[in-house]
Amino acid sequence: DTEVTQTPKHLVMGMTNKKSLKCEQHMGHRAMYWYKQKAKKPPELMFVYSYEKLSINESVPSRFSPECPNSSLLNLHLHALQPEDSALYLCASSGDRTEDTQYFGPGTRLTVL
Amino acid sequence: DAKTTQPNSMESNEEEPVHLPCNHSTISGTDYIHWYRQLPSQGPEYVIHGLTSNVNNRMASLAIAEDRKSSTLILHRATLRDAAVYYCILRDVRNDKLIFGTGTRLQVFP
C-alpha cells in the first residue's frame, strides 16, 4: 500500500475558526511533510517531521501548528487564518533514506473567507 | 538550496518521444536529481531520480550530463495521460528538503 490519505478533501473556514487537516500513511515511513501550493505555483515546503519530531519549520506563521501524534499520523491545526492562506495543502511521507522518494496525498483544498 | 531552471511549457504529439530539459548549474555533490509530475487536481507523483549515471524505469529515462549541471527527462512514447506539470528537483541527502522549481507544463495532443 503506497497511499497517503488526507481529510477533508475540501474545507471552507472563516478567519476566526479553528480547524485541523489530517494525513495518514501506513507504509512505515519515518518522515512526513506538509506543503502549501497556491494556484499555478509549485508546492512550497512548510514542515518536516522525522521519527515523530519536528525537524524542519520553513518559517511558517504560528497560525499553522503541526502535530505528529504517532508515526502514521500528521495533523495541521489552523487558527486565525487569512484569506491569502487559501491554497491546496499537501501531505507527503518518505522512507528511511534521505534520497528516498516522497509519496504525496491528494491534498486538502482550503478556502478562508 | 540549489535551484533548477526548466522551460515553462512544452508540447508533444501522442506516441512521440518527449525530452524535458532541466538546468541545475549550482548542483552540489550531495544533491540527487529527482523528477516528479503533477496531474491536474492531484498531488505530485514520483517519476525517477538519479545521482550521476543515467537511469531507466517503467515510466521514463533520466539522462544526466557528465558535469551534472543539466539533465533530461525522457518519455519514450507520450500518451494523453502524460499531460502534467513536470518538476525537476535537487534533493540534498543531508536533509529532508524537496525544493520544487517552477516546472514544465507538458501538453500532449492526439
Predicted confidence (pLDDT) at residue B35 exceeds the cutoff of 70? yes
Q: Is A92 on the interface with B (CB under 8 A)?
A: yes
Number of cross-chain residue pairs from A and B with Cβ atoms under 8 Å apart: 56
CB B57 within 8 A of CB B86: no
Does B96 contact A107 at a Cβ distance shorter than 8 Å? no
Predicted confidence (pLDDT) at residue B100 exceeds the cutoff of 70? yes
Q: What are phi and psi of B25, to 5 degrees?
A: -70, -20
Q: How far apart are CA A60 and CA B64, in angstroms?
A: 34
Instruction: State whether residue B82 is helix, strand or coil.
Output: helix
How far is residue B54 from each of residues A35, B16, B66, B68, measured CA to CA in Å? Answer: 29, 21, 10, 11
CB B43 within 8 A of CB A36: no
Question: Percentage of residues in chain B with pLDDT exceeding 70?
Answer: 98
Of A55, A56, A101, the CB nearest to B46: A101
Of A4, A42, A101, the CB nearest to B101: A42
Mean pLDDT of chain A: 93
pLDDT tens sequence across A32-59? 999 999 999 999 999 999 999 999 999 9
Predicted confidence (pLDDT) at residue B98 exceeds the cutoff of 90? no
Q: How far apart are CA B40 and CA A19, in angstroms?
A: 26
pLDDT tens sequence across B38-87? 998 899 999 999 999 999 999 999 999 999 999 999 999 999 999 999 99
**pLDDT score recorded for residue A68:** 96
Confidence at A61, pLDDT banded by 50, 70, 90: very high
Confidence at B93, pLDDT banded by 50, 70, 90: confident
Contacts of A56 in chain B (CB under 8 A): 95-97
**pLDDT score recorded for residue A2:** 66
**pLDDT score recorded for residue A98:** 65
**pLDDT score recorded for residue A92:** 96
**pLDDT score recorded for residue B60:** 96
Instruction: State whether residue B7 is helix, strand or coil.
Output: coil
